[in-house]
Amino acid sequence: MGAGLWLLLGLGAALGDSGADVVTKRFFSHLPPYGMSLARLLGAIPFLAAAAWFIRLPALDHTFIVIVVCMLPLEGAAMLLYMRALKICHLSLCVPFLAFTPVFLILTGWLILGEGLNRWGILGILLIASGSYFLGLGPNHRRLWDPIKALARETGARLMLAVAAIYSVTAALFKLAILHSDPAFFGVAYPLTAIGLMTAGYPFSRERALPALSARYGWWLAAGFCFALSTLSLANGVKLAPVTYLVAVKRLSLLISVALGGMWLRERPFLPRLIAAALMCAGVALITLKG
């Protein structure tokens, strides 16, 4: 029962990530990046607040406070870059670059957590690199380096690479924070804190996203539900299985996002990007589970 439940929670996190991405891209990409962030964050508040009633407050030390203070500005910057990438780039082209998070995590994990790398991790990196090459394939690319040059010109891909680099830092800090608190508590309290800080700047911003969100409140809540589903699934899953297993299953969101981008948003080319996402997911799984 426990083995099946953690797998379902990992799949729930993957579905939540991809669902939030595709809803935000489809219905809120006309907003500035800050407004797009609010679309998925504000809608998550009722779901996270309901879950908070069932979470106990653990003993928190000074190290935990320092970690959270370091993580919050990084998360805010990553969210804005993430939304900017979704706004200007195909979902199926930019989202797979989140697969580079575990690649960057090899360095940040070593610096922050003292974790190393083996031959499986190297193979995983090669698979992710191969997947990124396929992402750049197009009908006019006849030379070996053409796909790489195409990706270098794609602003959304570069932005998502920056997001992956930031997430490699916050992922290591996330693991460290859990060691100094409680998985379920941190999985609920941290996103609520991050949402509070992101929305605190709304009265001082020049944009007014709330009327646009209210006009599509159903999809607004859907994006928030997906975001909360991912967060709560991961928080509860780490109590049943190693976090590395959960992250590997959660990264299936890359494949789901590419499939939704091709079938629902009609993004093309579809097949090369699906193959690329599959390769990148395989690379993530190798790094996460074996590396």
87-117 per-position pLDDT tens digit:
998 887 788 888 777 777 777 767 766 655 5
Check residues 168 and 242 and name the one with the higher pLDDT.
168
Amino acid in the structure at residue 189? A
Distance of CA 89 to the CA centre of its chain: 16
Q: Number of helices and strands (H, E) in the chain?
A: 15, 0
Q: How many CB atoms lie within 10 A of CB 216?
A: 15
Task: Summarize the confidence of residues 128-150 as an average pLDDT.
Answer: 63
Question: 189 near 235, Cβ under 8 Å?
Answer: no
Give the pLDDT band (50/70/90) at residue 226: very high
Ranked by mean pLDDT, the top range of 6-15, 66-75, 209-218 is 66-75
Q: Report how far residue 83's alpha carbon sits from residue 278's, in angstroms, rounded to the nearest whole number.
A: 23
Q: How many CB atoms lie within 10 A of CB 144?
A: 8
Domain ranges across the chain = 2-289
pLDDT of 146 over the 70 cut: no
| pTM for the full predicted model | 0.83
Residue 74 pLDDT: 95
- Greatest pairwise CA separation for the chain in angstroms: 59
